[in-house]
Amino acid sequence: MVRLSDLHPVEAEHLAARALAMPATGPGEWVTPRPLDQATVAIVSTAGLHRRIDLPFTVGSLDYRIIPGDTQFDDLVLSHISANFDRSAFGQDPNIVFPIDRLREFASSGEIGGVARWHYSFMGAMPDPSQFEKAGEEIGRLMAEDGVDVAFLVPI
């Protein structure tokens, strides 16, 4: 995600310090999924993305929101707390953050096996990602039940 040299110096320094202080959490168990043209793919976003009817994210949120695969873009908003990322792109084309149309096109062309029925969203900006372990394992179980083979993580 982004070159530090492209950020405001204060933000770059802040993120660099965060990265240095971030405790190591991996690697996890190595898994080789079925071939992509047979695989069902789900999106996992950290953009603080959710439907208007959902409870918004707040500072330090460790929980997640589900985004049904048939959600319309006009029903999605962002409640991510950072003031330092570009929301204008999502406003213009939500696929740049949540590429559900691209997955549908890949499924239609046979490049992937299918699109998951549910997708998931977190708010990022958490200094210690191990705090997400409980929620991460939970959505892992949910995705397994949904027949998902590949989780496509899209940070913001």
Partner 1 sequence: MSEAVVPPRALWVPFPLGRPLGAVDDSEFQKNVMRTAFRLLETAVEPTIEDYEIQAPGEGFNENWSCPLNLTPESSGSLTERLLAEVALLRPWAIETRRQRGRTLFGASGAQEDQVDEMARAFASIAETSDVTSELVVDDVAWAFEMPLLLRHIADDLRTFYHEAVAAQPGDNAPDHDALNRWIFDETVLGEALLLVADGLTKASDSPMAQLVRGLLIPEGHYRGGSAFPQQTNFPINPET
Positions 113 through 152 that interact with partner 1 (CB under 8 A): 126-127, 129, 131, 150, 152
- Whole-number minimum distance, CB 39 to partner 1, in Å? 8
**CA 38 distance to own-chain centroid:** 22
Near partner 1 in 88-107, by CB under 8 A: 88-93, 95-97, 99, 101-102, 105-106
Cβ closer to partner 1: 118 or 134?
134
Determine the residue type at 39: A
Show the tokens assigned to 59. Answer: 């500072």
How far apart, in whole angstroms, are the C-alpha atoms of residue 116 and residue 39? 10
Query: Of the candidates 66, 82, 107, 146, which one interacts with partner 1 according to CB under 8 A?
Result: 82
How far apart, in whole angstroms, are the C-alpha atoms of residue 116 and residue 143? 8
- Whole-number minimum distance, CB 110 to partner 1, in Å? 13
- Size, binding site for partner 1 by CB under 8 A: 75
- Whole-number minimum distance, CB 117 to partner 1, in Å? 19
Residues facing residue 81 across a β-bridge: none
Q: Should residue 36 be labelled a site residue for partner 1 when binding is judged by CB under 8 A?
A: yes
Q: Should residue 110 be labelled a site residue for partner 1 when binding is judged by CB under 8 A?
A: no
Residues facing residue 44 across a β-bridge: 120, 153
Strand 40-45 and strand 118-121: the pairing is parallel
